[in-house]
Structures are given as structure tokens and as C-alpha cells.
Structure 1
């Protein structure tokens, strides 16, 4: 029986090549879109879950009240790990580590800039990276040692055994390679190419040795003996700052490592979501695209109902049961779905390189993964049964006597169901158009909103090696200005587009007792205001060449407002237990999130000991390429051992919008696929309506109706469906997009434009799709439809 049904299915596919192509193509696009989205969701979901005890591992977060709200971040003091290990019950290990930074690693003349992390030995107990060579029990205990990842070891030593060989760090420290570990997976929140002991970090950075509860400068990771200790541990963590530093009201909490990547958005000290919201959208998108593809199959299958009615009648007349007919139609749909799955595989493999480049990740199909094949098989069966369910039940219900006598099939209910399905398709399409338009508006609004400084033609150059010497920095600045390549040069203690050091150890007259306020702090060089293109709203700039301003600072407007300083110039601020005098107020400019209000910031004079970047304003009257070449040559003269590490500030600033741009791009692509598949569904219903009404249309033509009249008649019903879909979609889209926008302090207001665009685009799509088929029917010779009457 199965063999017979398969033969019938193949004959039907071959006989109706056009319909088969549309069916298989629609399902293939739907399945491919669904598979790509599910691969991406699975990749993001797997973040930080590669470790044996990842479910018992936590990151220490700090909640700090400032400016009327609570800031939450995974930066902690250098003493946090030891305090947690000693005082918090249920803790198995606690470790601190720096965040990865680029460092020069050299073996002879082979020099590579690599991501390096400093960590203590317990870091390797918490994160059980796989050791290829070396002793895990001895790792990170000796100060002048280093652990390399497999790929970095190969770059440095080729096929030689790197163990006990020597590398040079930053042309300063000779380190012995004590171990080689597997490369850190890309879907890991902490990625690096080499690990060095925390003791080496203290040796290189003397300031990091002193215990300081007010300086948040490292990551603290904690592993519990069992998760039953979590509630008690978090209760004890809450007051850890207050117990160790008088007046420090910040609170600490243990946040699950496995949620760090997806749930890192905090409000009022509690996780409220993050990238997980994006994944939910993509999961919904994947399901809806697949659903739309299934709906199209139903519409296109039942559109051929009259042509298959006699087949059903004859098979029933010779003894076929309804059960066997249902089996036949289900077999056809599953067979078509399997064929579609094959084409979907091809589409996925072809499109993955593009999406990997777009997402900057490495999605791939793991053909050896049982879970993957189980999911794919489940998708095929689900799609096949779902797509074939309505056609199977509907077509098998025809009465043999009626269809063989040529009586018209009752199709009112089927038409109604298919109209409902088309409405559902266009509800989704309209929602997608509205949401995509608002996402674009929000991105444009924030990107074009003034950020407080001029980022065009502004270049950041990483300070490396000999460049860190004060006299060398001043010489480089002089040469850059003299060459004409730059019109302004200054220094900064951090990347101007990234987060950096912050502290709660700030006190002033009038501060509320017990209030804990978080301040960003940055060191600046001379000509900082002029170079970045911001302005002073009061007072003067810091003098950083001489040391006359060693006890002076500047505040930004947010800090003055938060501190409620009536006369900010000359105000005495106690900063890190040293009294400073405020000499200027800087206009607020964006350093961290472009979507949130600017945080309070203190600027102190940098005397070259903590300068990390040189900021240069390129000469607008000179060719950019020649200016950059000139700057590169000057840097190489001072520090030939390091590759020049520079980037444009506006390019770095674009990274802040990465998640939103990703959401917008994927919504555009897969939304486009969904709308295209919806058009196929509409075409299916147009085919059905044309087939049902061909005699009516022929009579109208005989009575004098022209092509325009016929097109209007056929399009009218579909425009009604689209109008109903938009009425349903508007409130749904408003709720979805309003919730998404609520996460941003700076956000665009929801206007009528996206809703007008949704109506216009959906109506145009409907009219064009229906007209493609309607024109053919309207121009047909009426004699062909009426000659048998």
C-alpha cells in the first residue's frame, strides 16, 4: 500500500509541476529560514555552558545607587574574591581575573598582539579548560609563567613543543610557557588567547596590590559547593561592601554564569532580560515563518480541490476508505516536506557564510550531533503533518456520488478557513513591517542624536611599549602636529567609546550620609577639550604637562547635577582619600551606552602613567590615507616592536548599536522571506477563487465586463482581508514595539508613519500578487469555461 501511495504522490507531483515547484520552494524557504534562526538561537543559548560545573558558577555583580537609580555591573574590587572565599558559607572556589586586553607576545622576531587575561590559580578550578600539555595543578602559581591556547602556541612555535620555552611579554617580562590549553570557544563570555598569573599583574601594576573596596577593577567568579547554598550566600553578599568600608552602601550579588550572556540587562538591581528578548523574537519569527509555509501548502493543495475531487470519488467508489485517503494525502505532504528539507539544507549551507559574516560568529551544521538530527527530523514530521492536515481532512471528505455526478463541491467553510489563514499571515506581515520600521527609526534617532563631541575624523591609537614613556608621548604629539597629519592630539586613560574605571570613593560637602554614588573616572591629557570637540561650560581645563594641577579635577554636567553643587568651580571633592579641587565643568558626552543618560564622571590630569590611548584629530585639509600613513611612520620610529593599533572613533561607536543592527538586519531578511511566502499563500487563494468563479467571470465578460472590472471584483475581497489583518496587527505591533522601546532612556516616539507604511505595503503586495493570477483569468476566452453548459 505504501509503495502504491508513493507512486501516486510522485505522479501527482510530476503532473502538476508548477504547483509542486511552488509548494516545495515555499516549504524549502520556510524550513531553511527556520533552521538558520534555530542554529543562531542554539548558539547563543549555549554560551558559558561548556564547563563541568557551569550550573554552580556565578559572577559577582555590584549594585550601586547613583543619580536616582541603581547601576549594576560585573566589576568588583581586588579584595572581593578573598573576602568571599573566607566569609561566605557554601563557597567552594572564588577567583579574580582581569578582563582581556591586547598585549604583545614575542618569541624572537615572531611578534603577535594577543588577548591576555591575568587570573589567580583558582580561576582554573572554576573554569575547567582542557589542558593539552602541562600540569593544571601547578598552573598560574609561579609569577613568571604563562598559559597559551593551542592556536596561539602554533602561531608562536609552529610544530615545536612550547612547554618550558620562553616568551617575552610587552618587551619587558620573560615568561616560561607552563601549559597549553584548547582554544576558548567563541560562545564564551570570557575569551582570551593566553593566561598569566595574577601575581604578574600586581608586579606590573603596583597600584593593584593595595586592598581597595572603592576601586572596581576586576572580575570575580565564584563556584558554590551546591546550589542549595545560593540563597544564603546572596543574603551574606548583600552587605559585603558596608562591612568592609564605612559609608559604602553598594551591594553585591551572585549572578549565574549561564545567564550572564543572555540576561545582562539590569533595572533597579535586578536582571530584567537582555539578549534573551532578541532570541525570543527570533524563535517566534522561526515558528511564524514555518507556520506561514504550512499555510501556503494548505492553500495551494485545496486550490486544486476540484481537479482532485473526481480522483477521490473514483477511489472511494472502488473501495478506498477515508482513512486510506487521509494516509495518501499525508504521505504526499510528508514526501514534499522531505524534498523541501533537502533543498533547505542546500539553502542553509549556501547562506551560512553570509550570516556568519553578518553576525561575526561561526554557525555550522554539526552532522555528527544527534540533537541536531532529532530536531531536524522533528521539524520535517511536524511540518509535513501540519501542512498536510487540512488538505487531507478536507479532500478526503468529498462524497463519491456527488463528485462523480459533477455536482459543485460545497466549499464555503474551506474558503472561510483559508481566508482566516491569509488574515493570520498578513497580521504577521504587518506586525513585522511596523516593528522593522520602528527599529530603524530608533537606530537612526540614537545614532544621529548629539553625543557631546565630534567623532568624525577622530582616531584612537593604543599606547604600547616605549610609547608609554612620558617624554616619548610628548615627542609623538609634537611630531604629529608638526607633520600636519593632525590638528589636535591628546591622551586618555581608556578607550573613549568603552566602559572603564569607576569608583564610589568620592565625598563632598552636602553629600547625604551613607549614600553610595558611582562615578566614572578618566585621566586626560592637555588639549583634551579642543581635540575631541566638546566644550567647557564653566571654569578652565586641566594643565597636565606640569604638575600644578596634581590635586585638581574636572566634573561633567551629570556629576555637578547629581552632587547638587551650586558653585562647582572651586568645590572641594575628596577623591580616593585625597582632597581635590574642581576647576572646570565639561559638557556631558557619551562614553558608555548611547541609549542611557550620561553617568557622573570625574576627569583627573594624566601624567602619562595610566595613558592607554592617544586621541588625534586628523587634518580635514589633508588626504586621510596620507595622514594615517604619516602617523603610522611616526609611531614606528618611536616603537618599532609593536604593530600600530589604531581605529576610528566613529567605527568604534558603531559597535554600541551591534545588537539593534543585528535585530534590524535579521528582521529585514527573514521578514522579507515571510512576506514572500505569504505572497505564495495569497496566490494559492487567488488560484482557488479564480477556479471557483471562472464561469461567473466568463458570464460577466459575455455581458460586457472588461479586464479592469474583473480585476477590481477579484481584488476587492483580498483588500478586505488585508484591511482586517492590519486592524488586528496595529494593537499587537504597538504593544510589542512599546515594550521594546521601554528598555531605552533615549527613544523615539511611536508615530503613525510605520502603521501607514504597513497598510500601504501590505495592500500593494496583495494587489500585485492577486493580479498576477487574476489578469490571466480575466483575459481568458469565456467560451472555454461556458462551452460545456
Structure 2
């Protein structure tokens, strides 16, 4: 019986090649889109879950009340790990480390900038890195030692055995390679190429040795003996700052490392979500695209119902049961789904390199994964069953006597169900159009919103090696301006587009004792205002020619407002334990999130603790390539032992919008696929309606109706469906986009434009899709439809 049904299925699919190709294409695109989205969701979901004891591992977060709200971050003081290990119940290991930072590693003439981490001996135990060479028990116990990843060791030493060989760190420290570990997976929050002892970090940075509970400068990881200790351990973390530093009101909590990547947003000191919201959107998108593809199969299958009615009637008349007919139609749908699955698999393999480049990640199919194959087969079985269920039940319900007598099939219920399905499809399509429009508007609004300085033609060069010497920096600045490549040059204590470096250790006359304000603190060089293109509101900036401003600071507008200073210039500011005088007020400019209000900032002369970058304003009258080549040449003259590390500020600033750009791009692509598949659904309904009404259309033509009249008649019903879909979609889209926008302090106001665009596009898409089939019917010779009457 199966063999016979299979032959019938093949014969039907081959006989109706156009129908088969449309169904194959719709299901293949739906399955491929679903698979790519699921691969991305799986990749993001697996972040930080590769460790053996990931479920018992936690990141220590700090909650600090300031500026009227609670800030949360995974930055903690140096002594936190030791305190937790000794005082908190149930702790197996506690480790402190730096975050990955680029550092120069040299072997002979081979000089490579690598992401480096300084950590104590417990980090490899907590994250159970797999050692391929060396002794894990002795790892990070020395001072001048280093652990390399496999790929980085190969870059440095080729095929030689690197164990006990030496490398040079930042052209200063000679380090012995003590071990090799497997490469850190890309979907890991702490990705590095070399690991060095914490004692070496303290040797290079003596300030890090002190037990300063007010200095948040490292990452602290904690592994519990068992998760039964979690509640008690988290309770014991409360008050840990106050117990170690009088007056410190910060609080600490344990945040699961498995949630670190996806649940990174905090409100009032509690995790409220983060990237997980984006993954939920993509999961919903994957499910809806697949469902739309299934609906299309139903529509196209039932559109051909009259052609198969006699087949069903004859088979029932000679003894076929409804059960066997349902099996026949399900077999057809399953078979075409399997073919679609093969095509979808090919589409996924072809498209993955593009999406990897687009998302800057490495999605790949794990052919050895049972989970992958089980999911893939499950998707195909689910799709085949869902897509074939309604056509099978509907077609197998025909009464043999009626269809064999040539009587009309009652199709009212079919039409109503099909119309509901098309409405559902276009609800989703209209929602996508509105949401994509709002994402685009918000992104454009924030990108074009003034950020307080001119980021065009502005580059920053990392200060490395000898460049850190003040005299070398002054020489470089002079040479850059003299060369004509730059018009202005200054220094900054951090990448101008990066977060970090903040303090609450600022006080002034009139400050409430219970008030806590978080200030961003940055060191700036002379000519800073002119170089970055911002504005000095009042007062003066630091001297560019002398170092007489070591006891002076400057504030931004947000700081003056927060401090309620009526006469900011000349005000005495206590910075830590040092009294300083404010000499100027700088216009607010963005260094953190472009979506949030500018935080209070305090500036000090960058020579007090060293500059991190040199900021250069390129000469607009000179060719950019020529200027960059000259800048590189001059930097190499000052510091020949380091590769030049420079980047355009506007390119760095773009990184702030990465998540929103990703959401917008994927929504555009997969929303487009969903709309395309929805068009196939409309085509199916148009086929059905045209077949049902061909005699009516022929009579109307005989009575004088024009092609335009016929097209209007056929399109009118579909436009109604699209209108109903938009009426349902608009409230849903408003709720979704309003919730998304609520996360931003700077956001667009709602306008009618996205909704007008949605209804206009959906109507145009519907009319064009339906008209493809309707024109053929409207122009057909009425004699062909009426000659048997």
C-alpha cells in the first residue's frame, strides 16, 4: 500500500510541476530561514556554558546607588576574591582577573598584538581550561610566566614546541611559556590568546597591590561547592563593602555566569533581561516564518481541490477509507517537505558565510551533533504534518456520489478558514514592516543626534611603549602638526568611545552627606576642546604648554547641573583626598551610550596618570591616505618596537549601535522572506478564487465587463483581508515597539509614517500578487469556461 501511495504521490507532484515548485520554494525558504535563526539563537544561548561547572559558577556584580538610581556592573575591587573565598560559606574557588586587553607579544622579529588576561591560579580551575601541554597544577603560580592558546602559540612558534621558550611582553618583560591550552570558544565572555599571573600585573602596576575597596578594577568569579549554598552565599554578600570600608554603601551579588551574556541589563540592582529579549524575537520570527510556509502549502493544496475531487470520489467508491486517503495526502506533504528540507539545507550552507560576515560571528553546522540532526528532522516532520494536515482532512472529506455527479463542492468553510490564514499571514507581515520602520527611525535618530563633538576626520592612536613618556608625546604632537597631516592634536586617558573609569569620590561645598553621584573621570591634554570639536561653555581649558594645572579640574554641563553649582568656575572640588579648583565647563559630549543622557564628567590633566590615546584631527586640505601614511611614519619614529594602532573615531562610534543594527538587519532579511512566502499564500488563494469563480467571470465578460472591472472585482476581497490584517497588526506593533523604545532615554516619538508604510506596502504587495493570476483569468476566453453549459 505504501508503495502504491508513493507512486501516486510522485505522479501527482510531477504532473503539477508549477504547483510543486511553488510549494518546494516556499517550504525550503521557510525551513532555511528557521534553521539559520535557530543556529544563531543556539550560538548565543550557549555563551559561557562550555565549562564543566558552569551551573555553579558566578560573576560578582556590584550595585552602587548614585545620581538617583542604582548602577550595576561586573567590576569589583582587588581584595574581593580573597574576602569571598575566606568569609562566604560554600565557596570552592574565588578568582580575580583583568578583562582582556591588547598587549604586544614578541618572539624574535615576530610581533603580535594579542588579547591578554592577568589572573590568579584559580581562574583555570573555575573555567576548567583544557591544557594540552604543561602542568595545570602549577599554572599561574610564578611571576614571569605565560600560558598561550594553541592557535596563538602556532602564530608565535610555528610547529616548534613552545614549552619553556621565552616571549617578550610589551618589549619589557621576558616570560617563560609554561603551558598551552585549547583555544577559547568565540561564544565566551572572556576570550583571550594569552594568560599571565596576577603577580606580574601587580609587579607592572604597584597601585593594584593595595586593598582599596573603592577601586573597581577587576573581574571576580566565584565557584560554589554546590548550588544549595547559593541562597546563603548571596545573602552573605550583602554588606561586604560596608564591612571592609566604612561608609561604602555599595552592595555585591552573585550573578550566574550562564546568564552573564543574555541577562546583562539591570534595573534597581536586579537583572531584568538583555540580549535574551532579542533571542525571543528571533525565536518567534523563526516559528512564524515556518508557520507561514505551512499555511501556504495548505492554501496551494486546497486551491487544487476541485481537480482532485474526482480522484477522491473514485478511490472512495472502490473501497478506500478516509484513513487511507489522509495517509495518502500526508505522505505527499511529507515527501515534498523532505525535498524542501534538502533544498533548505543547501540554502543554509550557501547563506551561512554571508550571515557570518554580517553578524561577525562563526555560525556553522555541527554534522556530528545528534541534537542538530534531531532538530532538523523534527522540523521537517513537524512541517510536513502541519502543512499536510488541513489539506488531508479537507480533501478526504469529499462525498463520492456528489463529486462523481459533478456537483459543486461546498467550499464556504474552506474559504473562511483560508481567509483567516491569509489574514494571520498579513498581520505578521504588517507587524514586521512597522517594527522594522521604527527600528530604522530610532537608529537614524540617535546616529544623527548631536553627540557634542565632531567625530568626522578624527582618529585616535593607542599610546604604546616609549610614547607614554610625556616628552615623547609632546614631540609627536609637534611633528604631527608640523607635517601638515594634522591640524590639532591632544591626548585622552581612555578610548573616547569606550565606557569605564568612574568614581563617586567627588565632593564639594554644599554636597549632601548622604548624596552619591557617579562621575566619569577622564584625563585630557592641551587643545582638547579644539581638537575634538566640542565647545567650552565658560572658563578655560588646561594649559597646552606647561604643567601648572596639576591641581585643576574641569567639569561638563551635566556635572554642574547635578552638583547645583551656581558659580562653577573657581569652585573647590575634593577629588578623593585632594582639593582641586575647577577652571572650566565643557559642553556635554557622548562617551558612553548614545541612547542615554550624558553622565556627569570630571576632567583632569592627562599627564597626571598618563594618556591612553593620542587624538588627531586630520587636515581636511590634505589627502586622507597621504595623511595616514605620514602619521604612521611619525609614530614609528617615536616607537619603532610596536605596530601602529590607530582607528577612526566615527568607525569606533558605530560599534555602539551593533545590537540595534543586528536586530534591524535580521528583521529586514527574514521579514522580507516572511513577506515573500506570504505572497505565495495570496497566490494560492487567488488560484482558488479564480477557479471557483471562472464561470461567473466568463458570464460577466459576456455581459460586457472589462478586464479592469474583473481585476477590481477579484482584488476587492483581498484588499479587505489586508485591511483587516493591518487593523489587527497595528495595536500589536505599537505595543511591541513601544516596549522596545522604552529602554532608551533618547527615542523617537511615534508617528503615523510606519503604519502608513505598512498598509501601503501590504496593499501593493497583495494587489500585485493577486493580479499575476487574476489578469490571466480576466483575459481568458469566456467560451472555454461556458462551452459545456
Q: Secondary structure at the match of 2:611?
A: coil
Superposition map of 1:396-407 within 5 A: 396-407=396-407
Moved more, 512-521 or 670-679: 512-521
Q: Is 1:639 aligned to residue 643 of structure 2?
A: no
The residue aligned with 1:431 is 431
Q: Is 1:476 aligned to residue 500 of structure 2?
A: no
Q: Shift of the alpha carbon at 1:259?
A: 0.5
Alpha-carbon displacement from aligned partner over 1:384-434 (angstroms, at most 9, x marks no partner): 000000000000000000000000000000000000000000000000000
Distance 2:230 2:581 in 1: 44
Q: Shift of the alpha carbon at 1:544?
A: 6.0
Moved more, 171-180 or 528-537: 528-537
Q: Shift of the alpha carbon at 1:471?
A: 1.2
Alpha carbons of structure 1 residues 608 and 510: separation in structure 2 relative to 1, 3 Å = closer
Distance 1:29 1:256 in 2: 37
- Contact 2:329 / 2:391 at 8 angstroms: preserved in 1? yes
Distance 2:556 2:51 in 1: 43
Structure 2 gaps, min length 5: none
Moved more, 646-655 or 266-275: 266-275
- Contact 1:248 / 1:516 at 8 angstroms: preserved in 2? no
Q: Is 1:187 aligned to residue 180 of structure 2?
A: no
The residue aligned with 2:143 is 143
Superposition map of 1:238-317 within 5 A: 238-317=238-317
The residue aligned with 1:342 is 342
Distance 2:751 2:544 in 1: 49
Q: Is 1:16 aligned to residue 21 of structure 2?
A: no
Distance 2:240 2:536 in 1: 39
Distance 1:523 1:225 in 2: 43
Alpha carbons of structure 1 residues 514 and 234: separation in structure 2 relative to 1, 3 Å = farther
Moved more, 249-258 or 409-418: 249-258
Distance 1:240 1:566 in 2: 38
Q: Secondary structure at the match of 2:757?
A: helix
TM-score (norm 1): 0.99
Distance 2:569 2:211 in 1: 32
Distance 2:613 2:58 in 1: 32
Distance 1:659 1:72 in 2: 20
Distance 2:221 2:240 in 1: 15
- Contact 2:452 / 2:588 at 8 angstroms: preserved in 1? yes
Distance 1:80 1:587 in 2: 37
Q: Shift of the alpha carbon at 1:503?
A: 1.8
Alpha-carbon displacement from aligned partner over 1:604-663 (angstroms, at most 9, x marks no partner): 111174211110000011111100000000011111121111100000000000000000
The residue aligned with 1:388 is 388
Distance 2:212 2:192 in 1: 26
- Contact 2:490 / 2:528 at 8 angstroms: preserved in 1? yes
Q: Secondary structure at the match of 1:644?
A: coil
Q: Secondary structure at the match of 1:137?
A: helix
Distance 1:578 1:225 in 2: 44
Q: Secondary structure at the match of 1:723?
A: helix
Structure 1 gaps, min length 5: none
Q: Shift of the alpha carbon at 1:462?
A: 0.7
Q: Secondary structure at the match of 2:47?
A: coil
The residue aligned with 2:352 is 352
Distance 1:43 1:296 in 2: 30
Q: Shift of the alpha carbon at 1:530?
A: 1.1
TM-score (norm 2): 0.99
The residue aligned with 1:70 is 70
- Contact 1:544 / 1:607 at 8 angstroms: preserved in 2? no
The residue aligned with 1:30 is 30
Q: Is 1:113 aligned to residue 113 of structure 2?
A: yes
Superposition map of 1:518-557 within 5 A: 518-543=518-543, 545-557=545-557
- Contact 1:466 / 1:638 at 8 angstroms: preserved in 2? yes
Alpha-carbon displacement from aligned partner over 1:144-203 (angstroms, at most 9, x marks no partner): 000000001000000111000000000000000000000110000011100011111111
Q: Secondary structure at the match of 1:103?
A: strand
Distance 2:199 2:374 in 1: 48
In the alignment of these two chains, the number of paired residues is 789
Q: Secondary structure at the match of 2:252?
A: strand
The residue aligned with 2:52 is 52
Q: Shift of the alpha carbon at 1:718?
A: 0.3
Distance 2:652 2:31 in 1: 36
The residue aligned with 2:573 is 573
The residue aligned with 2:763 is 763
Superposition map of 1:594-743 within 5 A: 594-607=594-607, 609-743=609-743
Q: Secondary structure at the match of 1:607?
A: helix
Distance 1:234 1:516 in 2: 24
The residue aligned with 1:413 is 413
Moved more, 348-357 or 103-112: 103-112
Q: Secondary structure at the match of 1:215?
A: coil
Alpha-carbon displacement from aligned partner over 1:430-469 (angstroms, at most 9, x marks no partner): 0000000000000000000011111000001011111111
Alpha-carbon displacement from aligned partner over 1:228-281 (angstroms, at most 9, x marks no partner): 222222222222222222222121111111111011111221111111111000
Distance 1:664 1:59 in 2: 31
Distance 2:751 2:340 in 1: 41
Q: Shift of the alpha carbon at 1:717?
A: 0.3
- Contact 2:550 / 2:608 at 8 angstroms: preserved in 1? no
Alpha-carbon displacement from aligned partner over 1:695-730 (angstroms, at most 9, x marks no partner): 000000001101000000000000000000000000
Distance 1:680 1:337 in 2: 16
Moved more, 758-767 or 551-560: 551-560
Distance 2:656 2:359 in 1: 14
Distance 1:369 1:218 in 2: 37
- Contact 1:92 / 1:224 at 8 angstroms: preserved in 2? yes
Q: Is 1:510 aligned to residue 510 of structure 2?
A: yes
Q: Secondary structure at the match of 1:711?
A: helix
Q: Shift of the alpha carbon at 1:105?
A: 0.4
- Contact 1:248 / 1:504 at 8 angstroms: preserved in 2? no
The residue aligned with 2:376 is 376
- Contact 1:249 / 1:516 at 8 angstroms: preserved in 2? no
- Contact 2:78 / 2:96 at 8 angstroms: preserved in 1? yes
- Contact 2:527 / 2:544 at 8 angstroms: preserved in 1? no
- Contact 1:520 / 1:599 at 8 angstroms: preserved in 2? yes
The residue aligned with 2:237 is 237
The residue aligned with 1:330 is 330
- Contact 1:247 / 1:515 at 8 angstroms: preserved in 2? no
Distance 2:312 2:29 in 1: 30
Distance 1:306 1:431 in 2: 34
Q: Shift of the alpha carbon at 1:567?
A: 2.1
The residue aligned with 2:589 is 589
Alpha-carbon displacement from aligned partner over 1:15-66 (angstroms, at most 9, x marks no partner): 0000000001100000000000000000000000000111111111111122
- Contact 1:215 / 1:502 at 8 angstroms: preserved in 2? no
Distance 1:578 1:545 in 2: 24
- Contact 2:67 / 2:516 at 8 angstroms: preserved in 1? no
Q: Secondary structure at the match of 2:137?
A: coil
Distance 1:684 1:71 in 2: 54
Distance 1:750 1:497 in 2: 29
Alpha-carbon displacement from aligned partner over 1:472-526 (angstroms, at most 9, x marks no partner): 1111110000001001101111100001212222222222224333222111111
